[in-house]
Structure 1
Amino acid sequence: MDSKWMPWLAVAAVLAAVTVVIAIRLVVKLVRARRLLGDSGIPFSSKAMFWASIAYLIWPVDLLPDPVYLDDIGFLMLALRSLHKAASRAGADRREL
């Protein structure tokens, strides 16, 4: 391997590791937010987006190849924001958020 590619390979590895860590943190936040799914005041669309984001994360077909988790992270962030916004509109207990 040519030595001029080593720094770029290291940068790519670090970026891949950072995106994986961010994706894992977002999944943990989504799993913690699952308590909100039982709240009857939250619309079905927000609850469906929660499950769709989890399915998209494990689905083998992505918009971008799997080493790049930007599309997964974006979809997870959108689902989390939607769920929390719907919960605050419904007056859910802040401790659950």
Structure 2
Amino acid sequence: MAVVVLLVVVAGFAISLLVRVFQARKLIVDAGVPLQSKALFWAAVVYTISPIDLIPDPVYLDDIGVLLVALKALHAAAAKAGADRKGLPG
């Protein structure tokens, strides 16, 4: 029972991060954000929904890591470019 609860909690966290990545996609339309950061956004989304994982686990640890890296990189690139982050999470 505890394993099921853990899986549900971690899956919920991964879904929450995926939603935050999609909310941050507004930043990728800004001209000042580098192409590398925009590509990282799409790579994180594809990796998260892909059935293929670097670490085959039922807990989504690698997916969460990829999403966190993508969010951090996108927000850092947007801040450096002076993009408007108003209303975005993170």
Same-fold call, TM cutoff 0.5: yes
For 1:84, the equivalent position in structure 2 comes to 75
- Can you give the 5+ residue segments of structure 1 that lack an aligned partner in the other structure? 1-9
For 2:85, the equivalent position in structure 1 comes to 94
For 1:68, the equivalent position in structure 2 comes to 59
Runs of 4+ displaced beyond 4 Å: none
Contact 1:53–1:75 under 8 Å retained in 2? yes
CA distance in 2, matches of 1:25, 1:11: 21
In the TM superposition, residue 96 of structure 1 has moved relative to its aligned partner by: 4.9
Query: Higher Cα Rg: structure 1 or 2?
Result: 1
SS at match of 1:54: helix
Percent of residue pairs identical: 53
Q: Encode CA deviations 1:11-49: one digit per residue, 9 max, x unaligned.
A: 211111111111111011111111111101001111000
Contact 1:47–1:83 under 8 Å retained in 2? yes
For 1:23, the equivalent position in structure 2 comes to 14
Q: Root-mean-square deviation (CA), in Å? A: 1.2
- Can you give the 5+ residue segments of structure 2 that lack an aligned partner in the other structure? none
For 2:40, the equivalent position in structure 1 comes to 49
SS at match of 1:71: helix
For 1:6, the equivalent position in structure 2 comes to none
